[in-house]
Copies of this chain bind each other. A is one copy, B any other.
Amino acid sequence: MSLDRGEIVLRPIGRVRSDFKVKESVPHRGRGLDIKAVVEILPELGPAAGEIRPGDQIWVLTWLHQASRDVLKVHPRGDLSRPLTGVFSTRSPARPNPIGLHLVEVIEVSGDRITVRGLEVLDGTPILDIKPYRLEMDS
């Protein structure tokens, strides 16, 4: 395929392993739920994750690969009683670039596998980036 000017190519840094095998099973948001998932980092990128420790609060940026990319307005949380709202004012997965932003807690680190709490996405979801949470930048 040929790329238009301005298009950007990302390569996943890993994948999520979760218990959610179909889209309909993923909860709308899981903060407060005690659901664990595993962040699997590509072995060749392991050094970039080498300082992640249990107890860390981290951002996981995912690629919500089953989300619609051509929707500009949605009823927030699928609630038809709420007015149609531009997707940039919602956390809907449907958006032109369906990047998921998840604040998660690290439970366990074992080699290139990071077990976390708070990452409710489909099994196999590509991961784009991981960043530390920084109170002074993120609140």
Question: A: which residues have CB within 8 A of B?
Answer: 1-4, 6-13, 29, 31, 45, 47-52, 56, 58-59, 61, 63, 65, 72-73, 85-91, 95-97, 99, 101, 103, 126, 128-132, 134, 136-139
Report the Cα distance A137→B52, complex, angstroms: 21
Q: Are B89 and A126 in contact (CB under 8 A)?
A: no
Contacts A52-B89, A86-B49, A96-B45 given: A9-B11 contact, CB under 8 Å? Answer: no
Kindly list chain B residues whose C-beta atoms are within 8 Å of the C-beta of A129. 88, 95-97, 99
Within the complex, the shortest CB–CB distance from A99 to chain B, in Å, comes to 5
Kindly list chain B residues whose C-beta atoms are within 8 Å of the C-beta of A99. 61, 99, 128-129
